[in-house]
A = this chain, B = another copy of it.
Amino acid sequence: MKTSTKNRILEAGAEIIHLKGFYHTGIQEILSAAAVPKGSFYNYFKNKDDFGLQLIDYFVEYYTHLSRNILEDGTIPPLERIRRLLEWFIEFFKSKDYAYGCPIGNLAQEMGDLSPAFRKKLKMALGSIVDIHSRLLAKAQREGELSQSLDVREAARFLISSWHGALVHMKAVKGPEPLENHIRFIFDHVLRP
């Protein structure tokens, strides 16, 4: 099936590029991991850059799907859902020996200065992730969990950008402390009634 071959290439590329970065990863390495012959890559992608751009969409869809179970759980107050998602990620990174980080943040770091096409796509991807959290913060505000004076869009931007910084520090210290520190400051100082 065509779709499934394409997805296998995206899945394999996502895994390797998430760890090693875009430039450090070769197409052949991805195809070997996906057990797909080289020729078929070009049935789905014009070139490596086109693959990278489609991979960003893949990462956003993956994140949206992954976070939905927690963020849309109506049995839990909105702010608690955000806290649980962040704590879920701490467990995830623990299982990965505190490597990887966020693939969107990684690509923004690596490719933001080098490719206008990547930059544009990454800006949209970050916007989508901010949107998801902004909507939930607006709900928290309506329900009285958050100060009415807080600009929820700006707060969501700060939540996500500071999380990306915590992930950078996590890679350097190889431990959960920067993520735990992020959660503490976000909930003790920013996301308050």
Contacts and interface: CB of A to CB of B under 8 A. Distances in A.
A70 interface: no
A158 B162 contact: yes
Contacts of A167: 165
Interface string A98-142: 011100011011101110000100110010000000000000000
B182 A119 contact: no
A70 B148 CA distance: 36
Interface residues of A, number: 46
Contacts of A123: 172-174
A161 B171 contact: no
B161 A178 contact: yes
A113 to B, nearest CB: 4
Given A106-B109, A123-B172, A164-B165, 18 more contacts: A20-B113, A23-B23, A23-B24, A105-B165, A105-B168, A108-B171, A109-B168, A112-B174, A119-B171, A126-B173, A154-B184, A155-B185, A157-B181, A158-B185, A160-B165, A160-B169, A161-B165, A161-B168
Interface of A: 19-21, 23-24, 99-101, 105-106, 108-110, 112-114, 119, 122-123, 126, 154-155, 157-158, 160-169, 171-174, 177-178, 181-182, 184-185, 189-190
Nearest 6 interchain pairs by C-beta:
A165-B165, A112-B171, A162-B162, A164-B165, A108-B172, A161-B165
